């Protein structure tokens, strides 16, 4: 009974511990190890999400780089094929360099895309798969040990409640036996002692079982905590490995981007060097030299006028045929005489321009030369027609003495209906050679700041007036009427007349100001919106010369609107 009593003494203390334990509802959540593991587990989930998103980013970036590389390669090939048909000058050589740079850039993007696909995406996917494989059994182990620990805890509570009930009953029975053993019979005493013995044995069994379950609970608790610690350590090592992989990827990404940038910089440097080697003026000169190489004896065919009277087999009599042809020859001779006078007048005008360059400009010289070529061609065609008609009325044994130079240049050809005559004339190809315009000269022609010197200074040569331009563009009509006298009248007679014309120019029209114009130079004319200006001259650079209230100067043509003159 001493052992039974000793166990019964411990009951109140155990009851107080049990009361405090019943207040602990969340056994798993209150554990510090579990809180640490759950926090680390959330951190690991965030890492997995980041790696998945990073994997998607690298996959899409790789696809974009490869797609851009393919498109850029196609464009580079298109550009190099376009350059193959051009001349090998510095400009198109530089564009070939641009095509090479596009190829190089496409290779750089292809290399970068392959690196993202083969290195970054593959390694990130491996990390995700490995971590998922290693972390999968961790939660199972923690869940399994946690369930065992919770089941043991609940079993301890049940056994503790049962043990307390048995102990309470045994104490009541013991007190009853002690109080009634003096008044009870031997038989009753024996029954009470037997009953007390059975109660003590049952209490001892439950107490032993409770003790063993309690000891087992300590082991379960330690096992569960060790499992949490081990899983925490494993998860922490996995996260360290994740950080190491991400750092290595970042280093390789930086290296690839640095190499990519150097490749692009090298290509840009080559383009800049090729652009610096471009000689625009030399390329223009090469273009002119290659495109202007033509034969000096270039022959051009012209269809000649064929008349019915030229046919000796026609129904016309010989005398009537000759008379009709003579009338046509007389008309041709008059035209030839007039055309010769036109040519002489133009040649005299060209000679005057050559001796006095200030009387004209480059445009007038070119137009006069072109007009001389046209009249020379007209004269050759008239003379060839005259020779052909003269040949048709001459005797078989005779040949016309005039214009013998066309004897080997006139040919006949037939179609289904009749015969035609053509003449071959040697005409060298003449192309107008325009001066090269640099960027500076082109900008100067667009933004004009007025002449360098004032137009009223006596040292400035007078500009060609309107009479000069009219004489240079229409010398044919005037020389045909006066035999070259119009050329003499169109030319300036003396320096005094030139000075008078420059000092008192005549107005060629009126213009109205659309906007206010504030001059920036002394030779520019200021005006306000709505002012009416006298227009003296229009220049090709977009600036006009006019006057307002007695003040003369230059002004931009875009600021004014020219007024139409009413014809009387």
Which helix (H) or strand (E) covers residue 401, if one does?
Answer: none
Predicted confidence (pLDDT) at residue 283 exceeds the cutoff of 90 = no
- Average of per-residue pLDDT across 21-40: 72
Which is higher by pLDDT, 487 or 324?
A: 324
Give pLDDT, residue 435.
Answer: 52
SS3 per residue for 235-269: HHHHHHHHHHHHHHHHHHHHHHHHHHHHHHHHHHH
d(CA 127, CA 247): 13
Predicted confidence (pLDDT) at residue 527 exceeds the cutoff of 90 = yes
147-178 residue pLDDT tens: 888 888 898 899 999 999 999 998 998 898 88
Confidence of residue 468 (pLDDT cuts 50, 70, 90): very low
Confidence of residue 146 (pLDDT cuts 50, 70, 90): confident
- Average of per-residue pLDDT across 24-53: 83
d(CA 261, CA 112): 11
Least confident of 148-162, 262-276, 444-458, 535-549: 444-458
Confidence of residue 400 (pLDDT cuts 50, 70, 90): low
Which is higher by pLDDT, 337 or 400?
A: 337
DSSP string, 408-432: TTEEEEE-SS-EEEEEEEE------
Least confident of 388-397, 520-529, 543-552: 388-397
Residue 107 CA, chain-centre distance (Å), reads 19
Which is higher by pLDDT, 553 or 291?
A: 553
Predicted confidence (pLDDT) at residue 463 exceeds the cutoff of 80 = no
Q: Are 487 and 348 in contact (CB under 8 A)?
A: yes
Cα of first residue to Cα of last residue in the chain, in angstroms, is: 154
Give pLDDT, residue 77.
Answer: 92
d(CA 366, CA 473): 10
Predicted confidence (pLDDT) at residue 338 exceeds the cutoff of 60 = yes
Predicted confidence (pLDDT) at residue 420 exceeds the cutoff of 50 = yes
Which helix (H) or strand (E) covers residue 561, if one does?
Answer: strand 560-563
Structure tokens at 360: 């004209």
- Average of per-residue pLDDT across 185-204: 88
Q: Is 301 left (phi over 0), alpha (psi -120 to 50) or beta?
A: beta
- Here the contacts of 39-47 (C-beta below 8 Å, separation 24 or greater) are 40/232, 40/235, 40/236, 40/239, 41/235, 43/239, 44/131, 44/135, 44/235, 44/238, 44/239, 47/239, 47/242
- The contacts of residue 289 (CB under 8 Å, 6+ apart) are none
Q: Are 235 and 33 in contact (CB under 8 A)?
A: no
293-326 residue pLDDT tens: 555 567 788 888 888 887 777 778 888 888 888 8
- The contacts of residue 149 (CB under 8 Å, 6+ apart) are 27, 217, 220, 221, 223, 224
Nearest to residue 474, comparing CAs of 289, 562, 342? 342
3-state secondary structure of 216: helix
d(CA 221, CA 563): 108
Predicted confidence (pLDDT) at residue 124 exceeds the cutoff of 60 = yes
547-565 residue pLDDT tens: 999 899 999 888 889 887 6
Strand order in the sheet with 299-303: 299-303, 419-426, 410-414
Predicted confidence (pLDDT) at residue 389 exceeds the cutoff of 60 = yes
Give pLDDT, residue 484.
Answer: 39
Predicted confidence (pLDDT) at residue 109 exceeds the cutoff of 90 = yes
Question: For all residues of the chain together, what is the average pLDDT?
Answer: 78
Which is higher by pLDDT, 359 or 325?
A: 325
Nearest to residue 203, comparing CAs of 162, 145, 262? 162
Which is higher by pLDDT, 316 or 262?
A: 262
Structure tokens at 296: 């000096």
Which is higher by pLDDT, 516 or 363?
A: 516
202-220 residue pLDDT tens: 989 999 998 998 998 888 8
Confidence of residue 498 (pLDDT cuts 50, 70, 90): very low
Q: Are 74 and 99 in contact (CB under 8 A)?
A: no
* Residue 46: other Cβ atoms inside 10 A: 11
Confidence of residue 29 (pLDDT cuts 50, 70, 90): low
Evaluated on CA atoms 385, 390, 391, 393, the torsion sign reads: positive
- The contacts of residue 425 (CB under 8 Å, 6+ apart) are 299, 300, 302, 377, 380, 381, 384, 409
d(CA 339, CA 487): 15
The shares of helix, strand and coil residues in the chain, as percent rounded to the nearest 5, are 70, 10, 25
- Average of per-residue pLDDT across 464-468: 41
In 476-540, where do the E strands start and end?
A: 509-513, 532-538
Give pLDDT, residue 254.
Answer: 93
Predicted confidence (pLDDT) at residue 469 exceeds the cutoff of 50 = no
Give CA separation, 376 vs 337, 350, 425, 511, in Å: 12, 14, 11, 42
Which is higher by pLDDT, 85 or 26?
A: 85
d(CA 413, CA 46): 95
Give pLDDT, residue 70.
Answer: 94
Residues making up the chain, counted from first to last: 568
Least confident of 31-35, 201-205, 433-437, 445-449: 445-449
Q: Are strands 419-426 and 560-563 parallel, antiparallel or unpaired?
A: unpaired
3-state secondary structure of 93: helix
3-state secondary structure of 103: helix
């Amino acid at each position: 009974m001493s052992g039974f009593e000793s166990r019964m003494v411990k009951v109140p203390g155990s009851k107080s511990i049990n009361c405090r334990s019943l207040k602990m509802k969340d056994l798993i959540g209150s554990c510090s190890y579990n809180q640490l593991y759950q926090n680390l587990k959330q951190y690991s989930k965030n890492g997995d999400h980041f790696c998945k998103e990073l994997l998607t980013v690298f996959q899409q970036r790789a696809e974009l780089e490869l797609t851009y590389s393919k498109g850029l390669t196609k464009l580079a090939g298109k550009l190099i094929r376009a350059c193959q048909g051009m001349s090998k000058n510095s400009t198109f050589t530089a564009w070939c360099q641009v095509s090479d740079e596009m190829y190089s850039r496409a290779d750089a993007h292809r290399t970068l895309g392959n690196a993202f696909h083969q290195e970054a995406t593959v390694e990130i996917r491996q990390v995700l798969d490995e971590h998922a494989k290693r972390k999968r059994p961790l939660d199972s182990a923690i869940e399994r040990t946690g369930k065992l620990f919770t089941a043991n805890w609940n079993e301890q509570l049940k056994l503790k409640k049962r043990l307390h009930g048995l102990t309470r009953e045994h104490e009541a029975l013991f007190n009853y036996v002690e109080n009634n053993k003096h008044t009870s019979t031997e038989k009753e005493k024996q029954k009470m002692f037997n009953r007390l013995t059975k109660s003590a044995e049952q209490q001892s069994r439950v107490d032993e079982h409770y003790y063993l379950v309690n000891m087992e609970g300590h082991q379960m608790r330690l096992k569960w905590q060790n499992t949490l610690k081990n899983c925490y350590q494993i998860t922490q090592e996995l996260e360290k490995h994740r950080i190491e992989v991400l750092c290595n990827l970042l280093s390789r990404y930086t290296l690839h981007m640095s190499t990519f940038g150097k490749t692009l910089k090298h290509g840009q440097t080559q383009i800049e060097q090729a652009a610096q080697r471009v000689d625009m003026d030399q390329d223009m000169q090469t273009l002119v030299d290659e495109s202007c190489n033509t034969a000096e004896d270039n022959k051009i065919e012209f269809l000649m006028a064929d008349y019915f009277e030229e046919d000796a087999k026609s129904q016309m009599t010989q005398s009537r045929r000759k008379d009709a042809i003579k009338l046509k020859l007389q008309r041709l001779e008059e035209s030839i005489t007039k055309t010769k006078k036109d040519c002489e007048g133009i040649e005299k005008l060209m000679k005057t321009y050559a001796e006095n360059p200030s009387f004209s400009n480059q445009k007038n010289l070119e137009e006069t030369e072109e007009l001389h070529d046209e009249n020379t061609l007209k004269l050759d065609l008239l003379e060839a027609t005259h020779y052909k008609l003269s040949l048709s009325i001459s005797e078989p044994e005779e040949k016309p003495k005039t214009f013998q130079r066309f004897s080997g240049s006139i040919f006949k050809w037939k179609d289904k209906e009749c015969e035609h005559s053509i003449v071959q004339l040697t005409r060298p190809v003449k192309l107008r050679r325009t001066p090269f315009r640099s960027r500076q000269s082109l900008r100067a022609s667009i933004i004009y700041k007025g002449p360098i010197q004032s137009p009223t200074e006596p040292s400035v040569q007078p500009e060609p007036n309107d009479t000069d331009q009219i004489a240079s563009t229409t010398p044919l009509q005037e020389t045909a009427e006066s035999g070259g006298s119009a050329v003499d009248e169109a030319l300036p007679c003396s320096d005094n007349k030139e000075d008078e014309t420059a000092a008192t120019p005549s107005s060629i029209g009126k213009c109205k100001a659309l906007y206010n114009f504030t001059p920036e130079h002394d030779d520019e004319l200021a005006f306000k919106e709505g002012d009416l200006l006298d227009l003296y001259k229009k220049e090709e650079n977009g600036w006009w010369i006019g006057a307002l209230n007695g003040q003369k100067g230059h002004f931009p043509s875009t600021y004014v609107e020219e007024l139409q003159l009413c014809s009387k």
